A = this chain, B = another copy of it.
Amino acid sequence: MRKPIQVEEAIDRVLEKSYEGEIEYVSIENSFHRVLGQDITATTDVPGFDRSPYDGYAVWAASTEAASASNPVVLEVVGTQGADSVWKESLKPFQAVKIMTGAAIPEGANAVIMKELTQEFRKDGKTYVQIKRKVEAGENISRIGEDMKKGSLLIEKGTVITPGISAVLATFGYHYVPVMKSPKVVVIATGSELLEVYKPLEKGKIHNSNTYMLQAQIFRAHGEPILYGIVKDTFQNVFQAVTKAMQMADIIITTGGVSVGDFDYIPKVYEHLQAQVLFNKIGMRPGSVTSAAVVGNKILFGLSGNPSACYVGFELFVRPYIRAMLGQKNCYLKRARAILTKDFLKPNPFTRFVRAKLSYHDGKLVADPIGRDKSNIVSSLIHTNSLIVLPGGSRGFQAGSEVNVLLIEDEEGASSWL
């Protein structure tokens, strides 16, 4: 007899067995969307020097004190300051140095006036600039360290690399970026009813869809999927497949074979592996027979063969484990409060996870349950981006009420369950 446990308890049993994976280095070109393997701290001040945010003229502000539209000040342009033309002397009063965007402020200057507000002219072989308004000391100078201060913590380990993070990594010269190794996850599909995707349909059989669905879920979770393929449901086949898979990966997922039918060999496989079973029944729908077990530092997840139950089981239990391996602190699914758009009036003794599309309307979050809420349905997964949580033991839920929703397209996670 199997004893159902609560969802939260099941996740915690999985997380207790988790451990952090290793880091590796990849070139910055290959680092997008990987998970940072260490904290990123500013190794220099940015800007690294006081610099000009505009094209214009670096001046000593006091030289422009008397400037006005009717009485422009004229300064002598004594040089140019850019990346290739550095002006090495110190600026004197009533001198100006032409300066390019991003160039260092020359010594002696304490302000920049934008090019658009000036007029340059030549006279007697010299260059001058006419300025029609007073410039304040400090005007138009990007100060050393104003963007990022040397030594400050910028990005935490476990963060997924976004375009903005790529920019920061490049700024500090990370040609190679420390990232977490993607946990390897094998997917074994069990069931004699399964056909390879390239084979024509036969009466009584279905194409193996869970393998490709899980592959995509593993990619989304920043894991590295390994597709074992289809295994016919005999004990020998399944046992052999799981044994081989344990040599290939850290995480082994089987689909199907976890129920009480004559061909459900997963419990027996766990037994023969002398695995420590973490759970084999959960007080939830869909996927109440979702199972997990450990052998050494390998974890085995027995997900349902029903697509919707399989999908939910992956997000609820496998994803937190992958997050832990990726060194992420927030391993649980992120949650939000949203307005339910349909009635769920039938009382349910178990917690239900309803596939839903979460969207915004006028600044508010709205959760739309999608399609038929049955465990063997595939089509409801097309637009699923979240799971509505309907706690068990309640008397049903009415459209318009506020519910908890778990986000599955999210990269941040949460530090605790609901």
Contact = CB atoms under 8 A, between A and B. Distances in A.
Contacts of A49: 203-204
A146 B376 CA distance: 10
A378 B46 contact: yes
Interface stretch (A11-19, A70-78, A122-130, A257-265): A257-265
Given A104-B203, A193-B83, A381-B164, A209 B171 contact: yes
Given A147-B372, A261-B115, A166 B216 contact: yes
Interface string A28-61: 1100110000000000101111000101000000
A362 interface: yes
Contacts of A32: 215-216, 219-220
A207 B163 contact: no
Interface in A201-250: 201, 203-217, 219-220, 227, 232
Interface string A299-327: 00000011100010000000000000000
A62 interface: no
A412 B227 CA distance: 29
The secondary structure that dominates the A interface is loop
B83 A382 contact: no
A124 B54 CA distance: 97
Interface stretch (A172-180, A266-274, A344-352, A387-395): A172-180
A108 interface: no
Contact of A207 (B29, B142, B173, B210): B173
A171 B82 CA distance: 61
B374 A212 contact: no
Number of this chain's copies in the assembly equals: 2
A260 B197 contact: no
A191 interface: yes
A234 B164 CA distance: 29
Contact of A142 (B148, B220, B376, B381): B376
A33 B225 CA distance: 15
A67 interface: no
Nearest to A384: B164
29 contacts: A29-B227, A32-B219, A46-B378, A48-B201, A48-B203, A82-B193, A82-B263, A83-B204, A83-B205, A101-B305, A102-B191, A102-B193, A102-B376, A147-B378, A163-B213, A163-B214, A163-B311, A164-B381, A165-B216, A167-B210, A167-B311, A168-B378, A170-B208, A171-B378, A336-B363, A337-B360, A337-B362, A337-B363, A338-B363
